[in-house]
Structure 1
Amino acid sequence: MSELDIRELECFLVLAEELHFGRTGQRLYVSQSRVSQLLRSLERRIGAPLVERTSRRVVLTPLGQRLLNGLRPAYAALRAAVADARAEAHGVDGVLRLGFQGTADERVLNAIDTFCSRYPRCTVEITELPLSDPFGALRRGQVDTAAVLLPSAEPDLVVGPVFGTQPQTLAVSVRNPFASRTSLSAEELAECALITPGEPAPDYWRHAQAPTVTPGGRPIPRGPTVTTLQEGIAMAAANRGAMLLCAPTASHHTRRDISFVPVSGLPGSVLALVRRHGADDARLRAFWGSVAEAREPEGAQELPELVPAEEMSRIAESVGAVMVR
């Protein structure tokens, strides 16, 4: 252990994510030359190159990839152990960074309110996640946990409490032939182009939010790809395509140029908390516990009411929440 230098290991982990010396330096608040120096020192310590660097790109060597695979969970466990010890010594305090997709309904905000009432020394900061990148902020360490739309089949992430299943609606322009309908079947989606979240979201996740075929196997045309929820809603309003949204999100975004039509025959939309493997400190355990308590009882059928804007502001102020893009 005396041969290990935590600065070298941290530098290597960030470089393996960024594959760019300049961006690695920016994230670590050091110069690009310092990044090179730390990498060379680690390579000398190991005895072989970990990175291949050309004028155009940076790639890990096979040895570098194997080191990364072993180092990631070990480093996450090390950070969690330190965080746990700190929490045990000082109680649950500091800042919990929560990433969020979709619309904050009453259960979500109540969970935050309950958590902060129990742990007044801990502030919750809420970061809005791009629709097209549900897992990136977690991997980059920008949030501690995230409420994202399922499914999640990411091997480095753990799925926790589920906020509940919500029925699907289709957002269409008032000029769309479907706008006057009171409901649609999933098979009728073959008659419209679905707006789809763009990359870097994995294909399986994108197709879950915007299916490529109906349950009966009919192909569904592709509409525009979008980065954010607001882009998707704007595209729907402009009649560039239709967008599937859960019922609470649809209710929250009511506007005169869009109709929201319930769709039957599709799996419900599910929002759940996700965290990195090994990132399990006292704050996360306490917050996940608060969310689990706030979930609707088994067998409940009623949709949660959305929190009015003034009430949302009150709760946000009481918990110290910060909304950012």
Structure 2
Amino acid sequence: MREIEIFLVAAEELHFSRTAERLGISPARVSQTIKKQERRIGAPLFDRTTRVVRLSPLGEQLYQALKSGHRQIEQGIAAAQAAADGTAGTLTLGTTGPYSLRIKNVLDLFLARHPDARLQHREIQPASPLDLIKSGELDVAYLWLPIREPELTVGPVSHTSEVMLMVSADHPYAGRDSICLEDLGDCVVVEGQSIPLHMEEVFNPRHTPSGRPVRRGPRVTTWQEALSVVSSGQATAGVTAEAVDFYPWPSLAFVPIRDAPRSRWAFVWRTSDETPLVRAFVRAAADALRPVK
């Protein structure tokens, strides 16, 4: 296998010193290996002069014959290693709305590192954000904090986002540059389905800073229902700033809440089900989100 690898790299580089550097061996070993192969085959594989190295017709034939087989062998070994260390198989990831696009760099790195792993995507409904991860239907969820369930492990904060109020285009706040949390006392906000209070408070608090109650409107079970309820003017809803770009409906407006804390987002998984595949994903997330120095 090593001799085949030396020949294939030499055929790509057409330069023995670069081949040696790429493989971490000496130029002399490259030259000796090629000569050994030529003696075994009985004809030159390279046309060499003092200035240039080219594949001979026989060398080109051998290169074409070996490269696909070598790739298959490498893939077979990698697949066996992935099966042995538990990083082969399907990882089910849950995200809300457009947030899978927010973490594309994480997904790309995970799949590049673990080609035998497969990602299956499920949509998390903001009205019931923990249902799928707690029921075991997800391996990992990407959610906003805080999450205080003892059976769940929360990774480091990956990013933060501004909180805005989504209103209908004809709502009194639609033309404002911004509002404050106290202004929510004059609003009706959507009612969630099974959302923990500490998570609900991030976007739709129950009371204003002065203690005024924030009225609840129609109960929604899906993000699409929330969009429709707000668009029709029945209620408002706190959202992240990403919604502005992904839902530019003419019937909706987005108003910054200037004194609202930024929402914080992280990966979450069940502590008791931290499989090798989950750990591999979490490592990829940590590396992909690490600031570049």
- Which category describes the TM-score, using the shorter chain as reference length? 0.5 to 0.7
Structure-2 residue corresponding to 1:233: 227
In 1, the alpha carbon distance for the partners of 2:219 and 2:197 equals: 12
Task: Give the match for residue 213 of structure 2.
Answer: 219
Name the CA distance, whole Å, in 2 between partners of 1:99 and 1:194. Answer: 25
- In structure 2, the partner of 1:94 is 89
Which of 85, 99, 106 aligns to 1:104? It is 99
Give the CA RMSD over aligned residues.
Answer: 2.0
Look up the match of 1:71.
none
**Which of 122, 131, 138 pairs up with 2:126?**
131
Q: CA deviation at 1:139?
A: 2.3
Equivalent position SS for 1:208: helix
Structure 1 position 246 matched with structure 2 position 231 = no
Contact 2:82 2:114 in 1 (8 A): no
Secondary structure, aligned partner of 2:143: strand
Q: Which moved more, 1:248-257 or 1:165-174?
A: 248-257
Structure 2 counterpart of 1:269, from 263, 270, 277? 263
In the aligned structure 2, how far is the partner of 1:196 from the partner of 1:207?
12
Note the C-alpha offset of 1:129: 1.4
Please state how far the C-alpha of 1:124 moved relative to its aligned partner: 0.8
Partner of 1:255, secondary structure, is coil
TM-score (normalizing by structure 2): 0.67
1:143 equivalenced with 2:138 (yes/no)? yes
Distance in 1, Cα, partners of 2:284 & 2:146 = 22
Partner amino acid, structure 2, of 1:289: R
CA contact 1:170–1:243 (8 Å) conserved in 2: yes
Change over 3 Å in CA distance of 1:142–1:106 after alignment to 2: closer
Select 1:257's aligned residue among 239, 248, 251. 251
**5+ long unaligned stretches in structure 1:** 1-85, 299-325
Please give the alpha-carbon distance, in whole angstroms, between the structure 1 residues aligned to 2:201 and 2:209.
13
AA aligned opposite 1:197: G
Letter in 2 for 1:295: L
Deviation, 1:288, is: 1.1
- Please show how residues 277-292 of structure 1 align to structure 2 within 5 Å: 277-292=271-286
Aligned residues with identical type, % of pairs: 33
Letter of the structure 2 residue corresponding to residue 267 of structure 1: P
Cα shift at 1:106: 4.6
Matched residue of 2:110: which SS? helix
Give, in angstroms, the shift of residue 285 of structure 1: 1.3
Contact 1:167 1:247 in 2 (8 A): yes
Aligned length: 212
How far residue 240 of structure 1 moved from its aligned partner, in angstroms, is 0.5
Letter in 1 for 2:278: L
Q: State the partner residue of 1:161.
A: 156
In 2, the alpha carbon distance for the partners of 1:258 and 1:131 equals: 18
| SS of 1:162 mapped into structure 2 | coil
Q: Does residue 113 in structure 1 map to residue 108 in structure 2?
A: yes
What secondary structure, in the 3-state scheme, does the structure 2 residue paired with 1:218 have?
coil
**Structure with max Cα Rg:** 2
